[in-house]
Structure 1
Amino acid sequence: MEFILPWAERLEASPFGALMRESALFYPTANLLHLLGLVMLLGSMLLLDLRLLGLAREVPVQEASRRLTPIGIAGLLIQLVTGFCLFAADAGPLTGNWLLQLKLALVGVGIANALLFRACWARRLADWDLRPPLAGRLQVALSILTWCGVMSAGRLLAYV
């Protein structure tokens, strides 16, 4: 992470970093919006993942995916934007924080897993109503573990 440190220190020292750090409005608002994004992302993805694992079989998988995926994507985008804003306030020290590094790595794994899932299974989601494939269920379990790990690492950042 040493190659990122100079950029992070410049970001923290920038007018934007100062605004995020010193404003009585911007940092708390970004923090609340970050939480909203988390709820949208994790809530929708957990519901969809649990459906993919076989719960609530009365709801067709394609319908659940069609309704929940846009909410999850919106939540992820809110998280990415507000996460950058929150990072700007304390970018230098956060860059070396192992929990932030873990969180960012897990976000990467979560996004890659979601894209891979779409590539592998999007055309065959209707088949999941009959019997979810084992490989797909393992991928769904990875999704649940990954996004819960993102949430946990992010929350623990305040204490480390």
Structure 2
Amino acid sequence: MEPLLTAAATWLDAVGIGPWARGSAMVYPVANTLHLLGLVMLVGGIGVVDLRVVGLWRALPTAELSRALTPVAITGLLMMVASGTILFAADGEALASSDLFARKLVVIGLALVNAAAFQWLWRKRVADWTDQAPTGARAMAALSLGLWLTAGTLGRWIPYS
């Protein structure tokens, strides 16, 4: 993965994003703040839906909760992609060789595959879950929560590695 990340860092430098991110005293802290806000929106939104699917708050309708909070989670994810690109551009060379950063990207990939599979398998049946979701859906929701929390944790650990 390192050659691909090194190439991405080189490209971000060539198009001017890397120098811009490194050249301003405000770009990195603002991007970092937006990245954290995106994480809160992502895990806060999808985490509540995941917890409901797992079995908490059974009085709340799963479909309506998902309809309300999934857009919040998607917005958070998009914020993280945009701000994460800036954060990576600011320190791409070091991050390209970071084992924790590579693991974080793999975990994010797995979380996205899990989310897509969940939508494909269960989206049309969520409205039928008045009390408890099927075992497979509960397992995927628990996996989702664990993967997103792991990605966030790995991201927070990168500066200390």
- TM-score w.r.t. length of structure 2: 0.93
Identity %: 43
CA RMSD of aligned residues (A): 1.4
Q: Report what 1:106 is aligned to.
A: 107
- Residue 139 of structure 1 aligns with an amino acid whose one-letter code is M
Deviation at 1:19, TM superposition (A): 1.5
Distance 1:66 1:6 in 2: 38
The 5 A counterparts of 1:149-160 are 149-160=150-161
- Name stretches of at least 5 consecutive residues in structure 1 with no aligned partner: none
The 5 A counterparts of 1:62-77 are 62-77=63-78
Distance 1:2 1:65, change over 3 A: closer
The 5 A counterparts of 1:51-70 are 51-70=52-71
> Secondary structure of the residue that 2:129 maps to in structure 1?
helix
Between 1:28-37 and 1:4-13, the stretch displaced more is 4-13
Between 1:124-133 and 1:53-62, the stretch displaced more is 124-133
> Secondary structure of the residue that 2:120 maps to in structure 1?
helix
Distance 1:157 1:67 in 2: 32
- Residue 42 of structure 1 aligns with an amino acid whose one-letter code is V
Q: Tell whether the 8 Å contact from 2:31 to 2:87 is kept in structure 1 after alignment.
A: yes
How many residues are paired up?
160
- Name stretches of at least 5 consecutive residues in structure 2 with no aligned partner: none
Q: Does 1:18 align with 2:19?
A: yes
- Residue 3 of structure 2 aligns with an amino acid whose one-letter code is F
Between 1:142-151 and 1:11-20, the stretch displaced more is 11-20
